[in-house]
Structure 1
Amino acid sequence: MTIDIKKIQKDMPLLDKYIYLNTAAASAMPQPVVDAMTSYIQKQASIGPYLPSFRQETYENIEIVREKSAILIGAKKEEIAFVPNGSMAVNFVSGGLQWEKGDEVIVLDTEMLSNYVPWLALEQQGVHLKIFKTNLNYMVDLDKLEKFITPKTKMIAFAHMSNASGAIQPAKEICQLAKQKNVLTLINANQTVGLIPIDVKDLDCDFLLTCGRKWLRGPEGSGILYVRQELIQTLTPIMIGWGSTNWDYRNNDYSFVTTAKRFEPGCPVIPSILGLGAAIDYANDIGIHAIHQQVKLLTTYLLEQLQSIEGIVIYGPQQVANRLSITPFNIKGISPDDVTNYLAQHGVIIEAGTFMANTIMERNSINKMARFSPHYFNTFKEIDIAISLIKELR
């Protein structure tokens, strides 16, 4: 399937002023996503949120989005919970499992804060957090991981793709190894859902999460948590509310619903969920496989062009086959903030920071890095413009 870049760019008002190369942080929403949200908000403002027929229609639409979300990642709708961000999804799992003193959790040394600190906090319960060191290409060596797992290991939690290296981990193989060892797996797919095809049944993971605001190009405040159906009732929700709970008032008792909706305690963030549904439709219309292939081409081209810059240091896997889009770099003698600020002054948006991946900063003896992360709506010409601007700083 060929991507109609002209049509896509017509759906992006931002392109009148900017070249946007920062999807790893959050993407620019296409106009149909904005329209889905504003249509609901305008209707709600016109008739109020609780006209019975409108409320019924709204909640039916939420369930349609739940079904779309499930199909997108190869799950059942009963396995999908809506969450406002990926961080909360991690906490629903880390806080909901039953832990015993001495249990171990393995995370990679490339994780950012939200898939590191929630597991670190479990040390207060006697859980031991173990940090697995990735290889020189920021990749998991499966043989070494197998030796790292012990009979006490209960969970391996890892990012499918690192936000500060661009390394794509062998997720299926990690999950297969974990399954053989009777270890649970959680995949942080914030940087891959909407960018590459995802099938949780093929991956055979136990938990998977993603926010909607990155590669799906959905709104802020949207996201999904997948929980394998057999595990749903083993997780105790860390929040309780009318959306997730059955209340037996007369007997002074309560129980949680038996689907992943037990992780939706209160009123859903309706505009964001409807926007997420529109974003999924938009991605499906283009085709996730087509998106993946286009971004692979852009990544290869970006790396080639960056290497023409004097003094550049590119972080992440050396083999382009092991990385996608996310391309962190520094230029000797120029601060990453100066790079991003200069580009912004000329209408090109990238980002500089630690990306809360402190272990990667420490590993490279740096305080910050700049980062490109093109998506399918970007072009080779836009990359050329960005590279030319950086060269002006030399």
Structure 2
Amino acid sequence: MSDRPRVYLDNAATSWPKPESVYAAIDRYQRQLGAAAGRSAYQEANEVERMIDRTRRLLAETIHAETPQRMIFTSNGTDSLNLALHGLLRPGDHVVTSVVEHNSVLRPLRHLEQHADVQVSRIGCDGRGIIDPDEIRAAIRPTTRLIALIHASNVTGALQPIEAIGQIARQHELLLLVDAAQSVGHVPVDVRAMQADLLAAPGHKALMGPLGSGFLYVGPRAQQHLVPVRQGGTGTQSESDVQPDSLPDRYESGNHNVPAIVGLGAGLEFVRQRGIQALRQHEQTLTDRLRDGLQSISGIRVYGPSDRNDRVGVVGITVDGWPPQELATVLDTAYRVQVRAGFQCAPLLHRALGTAQQGGTLRLSLGAWNTTEHIDSAIEA
């Protein structure tokens, strides 16, 4: 192993390191509190319940949700998306989605298409990886129930015109599901401005929480249609064997992953203190430096939008003569530059970009802790 310092540029997979406050919050819970949430009334259990409520409130504030109760805790972004898709769609329904999506959307929809008589239209994108809202509008049918789209691409970093698509959804009385895995915490997210009915994300990326944390926002229009995909104990209405109808209990059966939720709360506090706009400006500056440096090297092709306002801090590249997986191995072993190679769980987008045959792309993804020194090390490598 090289004795060079570690250069972590895989923040689209998970952010690292976490703020010290995240480690401290998890450690304090595990060592000093240790109680389940919503199950007992002794002092430590009550404190845990307050911590859970605070994280829920911080999440609601971050995405401008109507009430904290509309924030459903899940185990990750994939769990959130599965709850939305399996809980909402019925036989005969039609869904409009895109080739830009992550497998967390593509695979549930393919399963529902194969096994539940759900029809799916997958809209293409341009060379930057951006969807045309007019193509979304053109794909709508009388049986369409849902538009399901990613907000920011985990391959190219491209930000989709979600607000324009939200207007289309409302005009046609359709529900809108937004996959915000690569946007929330990186850019301002407002579910009401987007007119999103459901918004799913993990907590362990830009929100700085640990793995095992995630959430689903359930808006007023979606609530009446979304059925739980599991039932069980909630710590409320325990005298009844009927699943509660109230939020968030309707969708939160079983013990919460309290260490992850407590850590997420500390991560949200960090993001709020730093400010999402300040974090975005930091990432934009570094991403511009990275893209400019890479584009100056012969044989490298950079994918995604050139306009900094149309993307997040994700840069996908190909290098002439280098399979992406081989290049990633060399960067780590020789230079300690850590990136992701391959399809990034987005096979249809790689087909659209023409990168599938060569095994995908090399992805460099930035976060709050990256520096100009990290960027320069990656370019020099």
TM-score calculated relative to the size of structure 1: 0.89
Find the counterpart in structure 1 of residue 346 from structure 2: 357
1:370 is paired with a residue whose SS is strand
Deviation at 1:231, TM superposition (A): 2.7
Once the two structures are overlaid, the 10-residue window that deviates more, 70-79 or 37-46, is 37-46
Q: Which residue of 2 aligns with 1:21?
A: 9
**Structure 1: tracts of 5 or more residues without a match:** 1-15, 390-394
For these two proteins, the number of residue pairs brought into alignment is: 368
**Corresponding residue for 1:104?**
94
Cα distance in 1, alignment partners of residues 278 and 363 from structure 2 = 24
Does structure 1 conserve the Cα–Cα contact (< 8 Å) formed by 2:197 and 2:221? no
Give the partner amino acid of 1:209.
A
Sort the Cα spacing of 1:149 and 1:263 in 2 relative to 1 into closer, same or farther, 3 A: same
Q: Deviations over 1:248-301 (max 9, x none)?
A: 65xxx5132311332211000000000000000001110011111111111111
Structure 2 CA distance, aligned partners of 1:351 and 1:200? 30
Q: What residue in structure 1 maps to residue 299 of structure 2?
A: 311
Identity %, equivalent residues: 32
The answer to whether residue 362 in structure 2 is matched with residue 370 in structure 1 is yes
Taking only aligned residues, the RMSD between alpha carbons, in angstroms, comes to: 2.0
Q: TM-score with structure 2 length normalisation? A: 0.92
Residue 192 of structure 2 is aligned to residue 201 of structure 1 = yes
**Corresponding residue of 1:68:** 58
Structure 1 277/385 Cα, relative in aligned 2: closer, same or farther at 3 Å?
same
Amino acid at match of 1:305: G
**Distance in 1 between the 2:249 and 2:119 partners?**
30
**Do 2:158 and 2:310's aligned partners in 1 also have CA atoms closer than 8 Å?**
yes
* Partner of residue 117, structure 1: 107
Which residue does 2:322 correspond to in 1? 334
Q: CA deviation at 1:316?
A: 2.0
**How do residues 37-186 of structure 1 correspond to structure 2 at under 5 angstroms?**
37-44=26-33, 52-75=42-65, 76-97=67-88, 99-101=90-92, 103-123=93-113, 124-186=115-177
Which letter maps to 2:375? I
What's the offset of the Cα at 1:112?
1.5
1: distance between equivalents of 2:190 and 2:267? 18
Residue 359 of structure 1 aligns to which amino acid in structure 2?
Answer: L
* Paired position in structure 1 for 2:374: 382
1:95 counterpart SS class? helix
Change (3 A) 1:357 1:106: same
SS at match of 2:243: strand
Partner Cα separation in structure 2 for residue 256 and residue 177 of structure 1? 33
Report if aligned partners of 1:246, 1:257 keep a CA contact under 8 Å in 2: no
Unpaired segments of 5 or more residues in structure 2? none
Superposed displacement of residue 386, structure 1? 1.0
Letter in 1 for 2:112: L
Q: Matches of 1:227 and 1:191 in 2, distance apart?
A: 19
Quote the Cα distance in structure 2 between the aligned partners of 1:138 and 1:245: 45
Q: Contact 2:33–2:45 (CA<8 Å) still a contact in 1?
A: no
**Are the counterparts in 1 of residues 55 and 261 from structure 2 also a CA contact under 8 Å?**
yes
Question: What amino acid sits opposite 2:76 in the alignment?
Answer: N
